[in-house]
């Protein structure tokens, strides 16, 4: 009898957990979506946002729009029971409407370090019911970052690099302090030549020359739009920088390196190796 009562009690305790398990998840943020797929929890996804460009399979899911310009109605129409959102998902009014409709919204904090990424992986694992897979992935990511740190420490010199966000109109935007690009440059063993700039700021040809970057970084996704390396070298001021003179223009995967997700350590290591062996 005691064993039977114990079994009934245990069942009653577990049942609510099973009943509330999220089966219809909307992922808002490329790093979030990438992590969900890395944890093999993609079967629970019913939609993603437009920044969720990797893996390719994510393109087959409904797109609810740009992560910062969401429509509450569009998200709610998918009947989600959980929203996994990056820190900048919005606007605020849309997120409030979604919460007001009774949908659980889990907003993940800003990620700018190895520890942040590992914590994010574990949290998403908990929220999707894939804690075991998350533990394995977090350990793998931790090992990759440890190897990267060792390689960076062995570098005899650390190149000055600047990340430019070119819109094709007017002056490009340089990534200054407290940006994802700033932290990625440092992780890969570089020195941000625009560290005196707050956030993203338009940089004049004269300012770019004064920064004296050894390497200029741009998003690989924008390489065709800017005309490749030749197009970058034609930008005002670039040819007069050490990077321009040496033609050290590097295109990096935007989401892979700057998304601070499962692939960031690997992408930063590839960049570090390229700097160490130009």
C-alpha distances (whole Å) from 253 to each of 29, 105, 270 are 16, 29, 11
Q: Could you give the residue range(s) of every CATH 3.40.50.1980 domain in the chain?
A: 25-149, 156-276
CA distance 76 to 58: 19
Whether the Cβ atoms of residue 172 and residue 164 lie closer than 8 Å to each other: yes
For the residues of the chain, what is the DSSP string, one character each? -HHHHHHHHHHHHHHHHHHT---SEEEESHHHHHHHHHTT-GGGEEEE-TT---SGGGGGS-B---TTS--HHHHHTT--SEEEE-TT---HHHHHHHHHTT-EEEEPPP--SHHHHHHHHHHHHHHHT-HHHHHHHHHHHHHHHHHHHHHHHT-S---EEEEEE--SSSSPEEE-BTSHHHHHHHHTT-EETTTTSBSEEE--HHHHHHH--SEEEEEGGGHHHHTHHHHHHTSTTGGGSHHHHHT-EEEE-HHHHHS-STTHHHHHHHHHHHHH--
For the residues of 167-226, what is the DSSP string, one character each? -SSSSPEEE-BTSHHHHHHHHTT-EETTTTSBSEEE--HHHHHHH--SEEEEEGGGHHHH
Which pLDDT belongs to residue 171?
Answer: 84
Which pLDDT belongs to residue 228?
Answer: 92
**pTM of the predicted model as reported, rounded to 2 decimal places:** 0.88
CA distance 89 to 95: 8
Per-residue model confidence as pLDDT tens for the chain (278 residues): 444 343 334 434 443 343 456 899 999 999 999 999 999 999 999 999 999 999 999 999 999 999 999 999 999 999 999 999 999 999 999 999 999 999 999 999 999 999 999 999 999 999 999 999 999 999 999 999 999 999 999 999 999 999 999 766 678 999 999 999 999 999 999 999 999 989 999 999 999 999 999 999 999 988 888 899 999 999 999 999 999 999 999 999 988 999 999 999 999 999 999 998 87
Which pLDDT belongs to residue 273?
Answer: 95
- Residue 51's contacts (CB-CB under 8 Å, 6 or more residues apart) are 29, 30, 66, 67, 255
CATH of region 156-276: 3.40.50.1980
CA distance 103 to 240: 54
CATH class in words for 25-149: alpha beta
Torsion of CA 32, 36, 37, 40, to 10 degrees: 170
């Amino acid at each position: 009898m005691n064993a039977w009562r114990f079994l009934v009690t245990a069942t009653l305790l577990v049942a609510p957990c099973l009943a509330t398990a999220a089966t219809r998840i909307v992922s808002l943020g490329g790093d979030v979506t990438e992590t969900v797929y890395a944890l093999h929890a993609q079967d629970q996804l019913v939609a993603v946002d437009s920044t969720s460009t990797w893996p390719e399979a994510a393109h087959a899911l409904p797109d609810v729009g740009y992560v910062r310009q969401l429509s509450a109605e569009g998200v709610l129409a998918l009947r989600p029971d959980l929203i996994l959102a990056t820190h900048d998902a919005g606007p605020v009014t849309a997120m409030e409407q979604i919460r007001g409709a009774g949908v659980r919204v889990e907003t993940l904090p800003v990620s700018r370090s190895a520890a942040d990424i590992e914590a994010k992986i574990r949290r998403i694992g908990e929220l999707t019911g894939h804690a075991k897979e998350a533990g394995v992935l977090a350990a793998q990511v931790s090992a990759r970052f440890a190897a990267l740190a060792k390689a960076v420490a062995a570098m005899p010199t650390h190149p000055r690099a600047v990340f430019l966000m070119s819109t094709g109109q007017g002056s490009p935007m340089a990534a200054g302090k407290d940006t994802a690009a700033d932290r990625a440059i440092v992780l890969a063993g570089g020195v941000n030549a625009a560290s005196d700039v707050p956030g993203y700021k338009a940089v004049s040809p004269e300012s770019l020359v004064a920064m004296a970057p050894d390497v200029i970084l741009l998003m690989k996704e924008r390489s065709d739009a800017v005309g490749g390396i030749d197009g970058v070298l034609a930008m005002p001021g670039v040819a007069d920088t050490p990077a321009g003179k040496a033609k050290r223009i590097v295109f990096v995967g935007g989401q892979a390196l700057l998304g601070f997700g499962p692939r960031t350590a690997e992408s930063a290591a590839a960049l570090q190796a390229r700097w160490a062996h130009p």
